[in-house]
Amino acid sequence: MKLPVHDWQFWVVTALAGAALLFIVRNLVPARWWRRKPRGKAASLTIEGRSVEKKK
Amino acid sequence: MSTAASQAAPSETGVPPGSSVRPPVRFALIGNPNTGKTTLFNRLCGLRHKTGNFPGTTQEARIGTVRMREGTLQLVDLPGIYSLELEQSEAEVCRGVLAGTLAPPGQKAAAPDGVCVVVDATNLARNLVLVGEALRRRLPTVVAVNMIDLARRRGLVIDLAGLESRLGCRVVVCSARSGEGVEALTEAIAAAPVPNRTPPGTRDGLERWADEIYDQCTSVVETGPNAVAIGVDSLTDRLDRVFTHPVLGLVVFAAVMTGLFWVIFALAQVPMELIDRVFAAASDWLDGAMPEGVIRDFISHGVVQGVGATVIFLPQICLLFFLISLLEDTGYLARAAFVMDRVLRPFGLPGHSFMPLLSSHACALPGIMACRAIPDRRERLATILIAPFMSCSARIPVYVLLTSILFAGRPMMAALAFVGCYALGIVAAMGTALIFRRTILRGKGRPMALELPSYKRPAFRTALLGTWDRAFVFIRNAGTNILAIVVVLWWLGAYPHVDPPPEAVQIREQAAAADPEVRGALLEEAERIEARHASANSYLGRFGRAVEPVLRPLGYDRQLSVGVLASFAAREVFVSTMAVVVTGSEDTEDEGVVQAIASARRDDGAPVFTTAVCWSLLVYYVLAMQCLPTLAVTAREAGGVKWALLQLGWMTGLAYVAALAVYQLLGAS
């Protein structure tokens, strides 16, 4: 009982089957589980393009 | 100035110049159901449209483009609604689009540049309520008075200038069916101003406002010997006396449905065989043209056969949707839903469920998607959960195989068993609906409010476009999923490689020393034994052995367990899997192979397909949830994986218990 790991064709079909499996799982699992949530970016507050401290 | 409805050209608007939109970018198309909105959309956009779901909702809308002198106009065909204020998913989508909180996928959410309200000229009074609600949104608005040809035949006269003046926006009369006035409508949309009148905000006030405008702007005249007053359509009334009759209506409905299915099965046979041959020829060609190897097997037996297994059912699905679209266009389906409401109501389902359940006989995927039209959430969920009980096209190869084994040479009995499978699915669905509606989906259902449109000659163009849409959605949703599943199953069934069994080695040695006439048969036998051994020791085969103890009480051995498990991906896979597992051949078209399946033996030499096992399998396949794409669509449409898991657990559990009872009953006797 063995996998033909020395046959390059085996790796091609395995990659395709893996992609197909990923596709199935992605369709079954709710989108919110795998979709990256948008994260807020820290930004300093400015008034007319200048930082609050400088304006003062 | 009174303008007869027959005058299609738009009159001068009495509206003071407002803020014109030049060129308009995006216009929303709204209207009551059955106003010919989609026919108008198709007339304006032709085939240049795409179907898309609005994010965060489950409501489908269509987006199309219209090329005009001033630029390109994007039209968003929204679902038919009676009011923007209703608590329905359709109304929610329309509100969201008009408020600028919903947009087609990939587009920035913003309020549309205008709205075109499509109204039915023969039903103006009720349609004007929605017009009033749209006018209150203060968007550039055009009112398209559709079906003007029908209104003209009934002697309706519309004071177009008066209507424009009272509504405060452009009004164009048109007929989407004939194309009359459509160009004028496009021009009106291009120059639509913001309305200069604001209708009342309360529901009662709006209805009074609509009635007043209707009384002031319309009149009925005798235009000829055949003219009938508006609202008194004697032909529709005469037909409705039969089609909506408590008893006669059901008889007509049964006759129409029988005819529909007969046409589907009779006409789809030829293209289905043609597609089957094309894919078989493609597979043979690949086998001959490509060098021997795993990739050739993968493409020929995995990809081509996987796609073929899906596409083969396309003719039935296209025919079903084409005929349903024609029936819908005539106005009959609204009557069918009305008649079925009485039948379905005791089971906690509304008449709205009829269409999704009918569609599910082709494939559960479009059937479940059609559940969006059911306004009540609990009733919608109940319909989604029972839709896969309807015998879909994918079950047909399994039914054919098992009934032909059970009743070899007795076609009438086989046909009766076939019909019995459909009946069992419907009975299980109704029972399940009753249980769910009295337990987890308990609640009072909404009374079905349904407008019965006038009978019309169906529009073939609209039916063809609708069929094209559905076919595309089927290919995209089911084809991609089924293809992916078949590819994974092919890999699991192909690996790991095992050494040939001693029995096969011995036969090959005998073949080497045998006469050329006997050699071929011996080599074939050796190949069959090797294929069976490889299949039994593949990952899929080992999984089958592991699961066999669970399925043994139903009468299934290791080989049948693999078939049942493989067909979890898609039911139709059962036949080809059994051919591979039992005979070591994939040529299921050959009658000899079906015969070989029928006479297959277990490891202990006993026949696999006994009468009790065949009946047990039939019952199992009628009731079991054996379709991953359906589960995925259920999870999406019902709004959670829990509903898909409930569907899987309930259907498979019911199938197991029923198949067990059948096997024990028949096996013991």
Task: Determine the pLDDT at residue A53.
Answer: 57
Task: Flag whether pLDDT at B59 surpasses 60.
Answer: no
Q: Is B628 on the interface with A (CB under 8 A)?
A: yes
**How many Cα atoms are found within 13 Å in the side-chain-facing hemisphere of B306?**
25
Query: Taking residues B309-329, what's their average pLDDT?
Result: 79
Highest-scoring range by mean pLDDT, B52-66, B103-117, B642-656: B642-656
Determine what percent of chain B is predicted with pLDDT higher than 90: 18
Please, what sign has the CA dihedral across residues B460, B146, B116, B61? Answer: negative
Domain range for A16 is 7-34
Task: Determine the pLDDT at residue B656.
Answer: 96
| Whether the complex's predicted ipTM surpasses the cut of 0.90 | no
Closest-CA residue of A relative to B632 is A28
Closest-CA residue of B relative to A25 is B632
Q: Which residue has the higher pLDDT, B650 or B369?
A: B650
Whats the size of chain B, residue-wise? Answer: 669
Q: What is the dihedral of CA B407, B411, B413, B415, to 10 degrees?
A: 110
Out of A4, A10, A20, the one facing B488 most closely (by C-beta) is A20
**Domain contains A19:** yes
pLDDT in tens, B255-278: 888 888 778 777 877 888 888 788
Q: Is B595 on the interface with A (CB under 8 A)?
A: no
CA distances from B175 to B12, B144, B172, B588 (A): 19, 9, 10, 52
Minimal Cα–Cα distance from B479 to chain A, Å? 12
Task: Determine the pLDDT at residue B7.
Answer: 36
Tokens (6 digits) for B155: 């002697």
pLDDT in tens, B362-411: 778 878 888 877 878 899 999 999 999 998 877 877 887 888 889 887 87
pTM for this predicted structure? 0.64
Cα–Cα distance, B383 to B352 (Å, whole number): 9
Task: Determine the pLDDT at residue A47.
Answer: 67
User: CB distance A13–B480 less than 8 Å?
Assistant: no
Task: Determine the pLDDT at residue B669.
Answer: 55
Task: Flag whether pLDDT at B54 surpasses 50.
Answer: no
End-to-end CA distance of chain B: 86
pLDDT in tens, B156-190: 888 888 888 889 999 999 988 888 888 889 888 88
Task: Judge whether B170 and B18 are in contact, CB under 8 Å.
Answer: no
Q: Which residue has the higher pLDDT, B544 or A22?
A: A22
Give the phi and the psi of residue B143 in degrees, each rounded to 5: -105, 120
Task: Determine the pLDDT at residue B316.
Answer: 76
Pick the range with the lowest mean pLDDT from A6-15, B150-159, B338-347: B150-159
pLDDT in tens, B531-545: 778 877 888 888 878
Task: Determine the pLDDT at residue A1.
Answer: 64
Task: Judge whether B567 and B482 are in contact, CB under 8 Å.
Answer: no
Q: Is B496 on the interface with A (CB under 8 A)?
A: yes
Cα–Cα distance, B11 to B7 (Å, whole number): 9
Q: Which residue has the higher pLDDT, B350 or B142?
A: B142
Place B84 in a pLDDT band, splitting at 50, 70 and 90.
Answer: confident
Task: Judge whether B596 and B575 are in contact, CB under 8 Å.
Answer: no
CATH number among 3.40.50.300, 1.10.760.10, 3.40.1170.60, 3.30.1640.10, domain B26-230: 3.40.50.300
Cα–Cα distance, B630 to B421 (Å, whole number): 20
Q: Is B16 on the interface with A (CB under 8 A)?
A: no
Place B104 in a pLDDT band, splitting at 50, 70 and 90.
Answer: low
Helix then strand then coil, % of chain A, to nearest 5: 50, 10, 40
Give me the DSSP letters along B305-353: HHHHHHHTTHHHHHHHHHHHHHHHHHTHHHHHHHHHHHHHGGGT--GGG
Task: Flag whether pLDDT at B254 surpasses 60.
Answer: yes
The SS3 call for residue B569 is coil
Closest-CA residue of A relative to B635 is A28
Contacts of A9 in chain B (CB under 8 A): 293-295
pLDDT in tens, B110-160: 788 899 999 988 888 888 999 999 998 889 999 999 988 888 887 788 888
Closest-CA residue of B relative to A27 is B632
Nearest to B82, CA basis, from B132, B39, B9:
B132
Task: Flag whether pLDDT at B55 surpasses 60.
Answer: no
Tokens (6 digits) for B669: 């006797």
Cα–Cα distance, B28 to B50 (Å, whole number): 15
Most A-contacting residue of B53, B297, B298 (CB-CB within 10 A), to test interface: B298
Please provide the average confidence, as pLDDT, over all residues in chain B: 80
Task: Flag whether pLDDT at B51 surpasses 70.
Answer: no
Task: Flag whether pLDDT at A56 surpasses 50.
Answer: no
Q: Which residue has the higher pLDDT, B132 or B459?
A: B132
Tokens (6 digits) for B349: 């389902």
Most A-contacting residue of B53, B290, B295 (CB-CB within 10 A), to test interface: B295
Place B214 in a pLDDT band, splitting at 50, 70 and 90.
Answer: confident
Tokens (6 digits) for B467: 């069929």
pLDDT in tens, B581-622: 654 444 444 444 566 677 777 767 788 889 999 999 999 999
Give the per-residue SS3 of B139-206.
CCEEEEEECHHHHHHCCEEECHHHHHHHHCCEEEECECCCCECHHHHHHHHHCCCCCCCCCCCCHHHH
Query: Taking residues B413-427, what's their average pLDDT?
Result: 87
Distance of CA B478 to the CA centre of its chain: 11
Question: How many structural domains is chain A composed of?
Answer: 1
Closest-CA residue of A relative to B482 is A24
**Domain contains A45:** no
Q: ω before B16 within 30° of 0 (cis)?
A: no
Query: Taking residues B638-664, what's their average pLDDT?
Result: 94
Task: Flag whether pLDDT at B309 surpasses 70.
Answer: no
Q: In what order do the strands lie in the sheet with B71-77?
A: B49-53, B60-68, B71-77, B26-31, B114-120, B141-146, B170-173
Place B229 in a pLDDT band, splitting at 50, 70 and 90.
Answer: very low
Query: Taking residues B434-438, what's their average pLDDT?
Result: 95
Minimal Cα–Cα distance from B618 to chain A, Å? 27
Task: Judge whether B119 and B142 are in contact, CB under 8 Å.
Answer: no
**Domain contains A50:** no
Query: Taking residues B514-524, what's their average pLDDT?
Result: 84
Task: Flag whether pLDDT at B13 surpasses 70.
Answer: no
Task: Determine the pLDDT at residue B196.
Answer: 86
Give me the DSSP letters along B106-139: TS-----SEEEEEEEGGGHHHHHHHHHHHHTT-S
Distance of CA B220 to the CA centre of its chain: 41
Contacts of B485 in chain A (CB under 8 A): 20, 24
Task: Judge whether B34 and B132 are in contact, CB under 8 Å.
Answer: no
Task: Determine the pLDDT at residue A49.
Answer: 66
Nearest to B548, CA basis, from B581, B572, B525, B573:
B581
pLDDT in tens, A30-49: 666 666 665 566 666 666 66
A vs B, Cβ pairs < 8 A, gives 61
